[in-house]
Structure 1
Amino acid sequence: MNAVWARANKSKSALGVVCGTGAGALWGLVFLAPELVRDFTPLQLAIGRYLAYGLIAAVLIAPRWRTLVPTIMRKDWIALIWLSLAGNTLYYVLLSTAVQTGGIAMTSLIIGFLPVAVTVIGSRDKGAVSLTNLAPSLVLCTAGAVCIGWQRLAAPVSGQADGQLLGLACAIGALASWTAYAVGNARCLSRLDHVTAHDWNLLTGVITGAQAVLLIPLTLAFEPIRHAAASWAHLAIVSVGVAVAASIFGNAFWNRMSRLLPLTMVGQMILFETLFALLYGFLWERRLPSPMEVAAFGLVVASVMSCIAAHRKQPDAAAVAPA
């Protein structure tokens, strides 16, 4: 009986890792969007992406809306509002602003600590793998994050000191925002057995789309329309593409993974976004990775494998949903 349970649990973990990899591969595409539409501001990019996400989600969930809504309690709607803000709207604006004002190196280095933050929080859950057992994975994760940003961090960055401080503040804010989303979303999914991961993603999309609509007057007031019709059409195409790939399918993979893996392991899966973002960046720039970037790849992969090994040594923890 124990052998059967162990095989089922191992299969569950393997499927969770596959879903986490898929989410990272699709989310990595988000980093190409600013390069494809460089003439638009971070707020405009966020509005375009999440407006498309909201419209698509509304169309997909419409057939089940009347039967699904009565099962969503008031506290669930409140959770959807703050999760949409923390994990989508606020995070994307903060991240884009941090890159523009503080540089890619500093931003990627700080955001690279997302797995550490989520894993440390997840270690407090009942039955979770202890931080002592996760220490090798956390050390490798931290070393990988340092390698990712080190060579550009050492290079001089243009801009005034005030801009650097703003970029640092936005990067830390983005780190806190997405950490809160990852933890909160996993815990909501663990208690909402009557809502599928796909429907939860679509509900998140509807709420995020509504937030994007509310931001339109803000961008019109502070960012006057100065683009040609062709540029807006280009933005629309990129926004729809990112919405479908990253927000619809990527989030669906992530939500499925969040129900299959404990929170301590969920944190490590975020590393795949960084890996694929780097890979797409190399392809976009048509170059090979530097030795430091190769080292980062190896450390990140080793971190994930170490985390998986720690959970296999303590199978009970892998079966416990986040508290």
Structure 2
Amino acid sequence: MWTGILYALAAGLMWGLVFVSPLLLPDYPAALQSVGRYLAFGLIALPLAWMDRHALRQLGRADWIEALKLAAIGNLLYYLCLASAIQRAGAPLPTMIIGTLPVVIAICANLRNARRDGRLPWAWLAPSLLLIVAGIACVNRAELMAMERQATVDVARYVQGALLACGAVACWTWYPLRNADWLRHHTDRRPRTWATAQGLATLPLALAGYALLWIVMGTRNQPFAMPFGPHPLRFIGLMAAIGLFASWLGTLCWNAASQRLPTALAGQLIVFETLAALGYAFALRGQAPGPLTLAGIALLVTGVMWAVRIRPRPVEVLAEG
């Protein structure tokens, strides 16, 4: 279990990087950042696929269809919603909404996968969930107060950002549940192979999306400087870094965690992504978090530490009790 938790921590540290990119590229459309990131992911997966070619040949048609679904919804659509939300509402609101993922996934997994993984008893799980929710509320209350002091909020864009962030939550509630289903039913397959397969499945989708965006942007009155925009070196560097660390390596670590942990517990460990995103955001601002933010972080960590002490129990045992 502790190996799985360390893998989940590593995935969260790398996934936190995706919250920084939209802030560093504010004049780049969210759709371009999404297809750019996953085009880089797909290209990185090509040499890795050659190294894993024997294992990849063992994947059947149904496996590749599943990888394509996971790539379309858990990769492209999720990041399109997230980047759009950050650009419209700033980082605090999307971070708050995405931060509910540990709670949403834990509840869905406990309802959906109890017979396979065992059930985390609700009475034991509730304190952890409440601590995580309270921590997220504290952190984001502090962020929203700071944003209100700095500038006037555009209500329409703020609401759009909230809705898009909810869309991102829906995508990434579906993704880890389906991804865990495949991994738990294919325990003989390596997480690295499955991460590479998702990268290969993402590549044609990202290429098609990039080509479509190039055509659409070329028809505008003020065309965007395609293919790499006004800051090509920054764009290419960020997409390559996020494609390697957040997409391929982050997916590899998450797959390894998903094979070792109950889905309900793994879902809560996505809180590491929220903590990493906050840490990177404060480092980018060059300032330390305030007391309310620190209190929220402490609640988040306490909630996670509470959760990892809980062991799943078979459904039959719970029924007899």
Normalised by the length of structure 2, the TM-score is: 0.88
Match of 1:225 in 2: 224
Q: Distance in 2 between matches of 1:42 and 1:145?
A: 25
Q: Which residue of 1 aligns with 2:72?
A: 85
CA drift of 1:195 comes to 2.1
Q: In the alignment, what sits opposite 1:5?
A: none
Q: Distance in 1 between matches of 2:41 and 2:5?
A: 25
> Sequence identity of aligned pairs in percent?
31
Distance 1:197 1:214 in 2: 27
Quote the residue 2:60 is aligned against.
73
1:28 to 2, 16, 23: 16
Kindly report which structure 2 residues correspond to 1:202-213, keeping only aligned pairs within 5 A, or say none. 202-213=196-207
Q: Which amino acid aligns with 2:262?
A: P
Q: Is 1:117 matched with 2:117?
A: no
Alignment pair present for 1:108 and 2:95: yes
Superimposed CA distance per residue, residues 240-291 of structure 1 (whole angstroms, 9 cap, x where no aligned partner): 1111111122111111000110011101110001111111112111111111
In the alignment, is the contact (CA less than 8 A) between 1:101 and 1:159 conserved in 2?
no
Cα distance change, pair 280–165 in 1 and its aligned pair in 2 (3 A): closer
Unpaired runs of at least 5, structure 1: 1-12, 318-323
Whether 1:99 and 2:90 are equivalent positions in the alignment is no
Aligned match of 2:319? none
Question: How many corresponding residue pairs?
Answer: 302
Distance 1:75 1:210, change over 3 A: same
Q: Which runs of 5+ in 2 are unaligned?
A: 218-222, 316-321
Query: Conserved in 1, the CA contact under 8 Å of 2:229 and 2:235?
Result: no
Distance 1:64 1:109 in 2: 38
* Alpha-carbon distance in structure 2 between the residues aligned to 1:173 and 1:182: 15
Residue deviations 1:148-178 (CA, integer Å, cap 9, x gap): 2112335547454432332222111100001
* Aligned-partner Cα distance in 1 for 2:291–2:176: 31
- CA deviation after TM superposition for structure 1 residue 84, in Å: 0.9
Task: Classify 1:298/1:241 alpha carbon distance in 2 versus 1 (closer, same or farther; 3 Å).
Answer: same
AA in 2 matched with 1:46: S
| Inter-partner Cα distance in structure 1 for 2:19 and 2:75 | 14
CA-CA distance at 1:217 after TM superposition: 2.8
Cα distance in 1 for residues equivalent to 2:155 and 2:283: 32
- Counterpart code for 2:76: T
The TM-score with structure 1 as length reference comes to 0.87
Partners of 2:56 and 2:257 lie apart in 1 by 24
2:282 counterpart residue number: 282
Query: 1:191 corresponds to which letter in structure 2?
Result: H
Distance 1:92 1:229, change over 3 A: closer
